[in-house]
Amino acid sequence: MGKLTNEDIFESQFYWMHIEDTSYLNTALTIERLHPFFSDLINYKVLEIGPGDNAINKYYNCKEYITAVANYPNDGLSILRKQDDKSLVVVSFGVIDDCILCSNKNKLMKQYLEEMVIEIKRVMNPFSIIIGLDAEKYMSVADIKAMDRWTKMGGIYFQK
Ligand SMILES: C[S@@+](CC[C@H](N)C(=O)[O-])C[C@H]1O[C@@H](n2cnc3c(N)ncnc32)[C@H](O)[C@@H]1O
């Protein structure tokens, strides 16, 4: 199966959830083992996927900061596709989640999430911070898990 076309992505945007009242970043900010990586953002260009009303750069300075939001052509997959290999730190809180990207609803949505994860792994360097209810279902087990008891929540992933 080929990659999603721009028309496919355009169609996908009507499914994505704009839930802003649950902040996964607020939870992540309380996790001490993540703090050194948040502090390190000052040294990197950072792409935040789905900041909603709560962007990481309100709390931690980044050398350079760009975002992807839930509207084509500024959505996660489209913005990731424009980045060079191993070129920035990707952070995302509460987006790699079947309920947000509606990945259980149809094949197109599932492919969108899978392609987004492939792109995150391609562009991230030297690490990414990915927290989401289904992060480890799609990204694999985090190198540093955010929370041991939330087994699929993700955490820190290193470029290999
Ligand atoms: C649960 S909210 C989390 C907001 C924020 N990251 C936080 O933790 O407070 C999920 C966010 O993902 C965004 N989103 C949904 N689909 C997206 C997509 N395809 N690309 C980028 N952002 C998306 C939504 O608009 C929403 O802002």
Q: What is the pLDDT of residues 11-28, one digit of tens each?
A: 999 999 888 778 999 999
Residue 39 included in any domain: yes
Output the residue whose Cα is nearest ligand 1's atom 7: 23
In ligand 1, which atom is closest to the CA atom of 25?
8
Residue 73 included in any domain: yes
pTM: 0.96
Q: In the prediction, which pLDDT does 149 show?
A: 73
Q: What is the pLDDT of residues 104-154, one digit of tens each?
A: 888 999 999 999 999 999 999 999 999 999 999 999 999 999 988 767 899
Tally of domains within the chain:
1
In this model, does residue 97 exceed pLDDT 80? yes
Residue 15 included in any domain: yes
Residue 1 included in any domain: no
Q: In the prediction, which pLDDT does 49 show?
A: 98
Q: What is the pLDDT of residues 22-80, one digit of tens each?
A: 899 999 999 999 999 999 999 999 999 999 999 999 999 999 999 999 999 999 999 99
Ligand 1 mean position, distance from CA 78 (Å): 14
Q: What is the DSSP letter of 21?
A: S
Q: Which residues contact 4 (CB under 8 A, 6 or more apart)?
A: 12, 77, 108, 111, 112, 115
Q: In this structure, what CATH number is given to the domain that contains residue 82?
A: 3.40.50
Contact 123, 76 (CB under 8 A): no
CA 93 to mean position of chain CA atoms = 6
- Provide the domain limits for residue 78: 6-158
Residue 36 included in any domain: yes
